[in-house]
Amino acid sequence: KMGGFFQMLMKKKELIPLIGFMAFAATGATSAAIYFLLTKPDVILNKTKNPEPWERLDPSKPQKLITINQKWKPVEELELVKSLYK
């Protein structure tokens, strides 16, 4: 079957750039998914081990891929509610 694919590419050479761009896009999407899965703390695979991953995030550390001029300060009402539950 692969021989037929390459024969088709030899007949229709205009498909080679399209297939190259599609392979590049698929590789980029797969790499980004693996990168976020392994490096971002809010992405979890095992929910029984850590059911609430957002509780362990550092709010001063940016979580987005690109963060411009982010300044974090705690919300007073939220801190009050958290102190009541602890």
Alpha-carbon distance of 18 to 15, in angstroms, equals: 5
Alpha-carbon distance of 49 to 51, in angstroms, equals: 6
Contacts of 9 (CB under 8 A, 6+ apart): 15, 16, 19
pLDDT tens string 51-61:
777 777 776 67
Other beta carbons less than 10 A from residue 40's beta carbon: 14
* Ranges of each domain in the chain: 2-85
For the entire predicted model, the pTM comes to 0.53
The answer to whether 19 touches 27, Cβ cutoff 8 Å, is no
Tokens found for residue 67: 């963060």
pLDDT tens string 23-37:
999 999 999 999 888
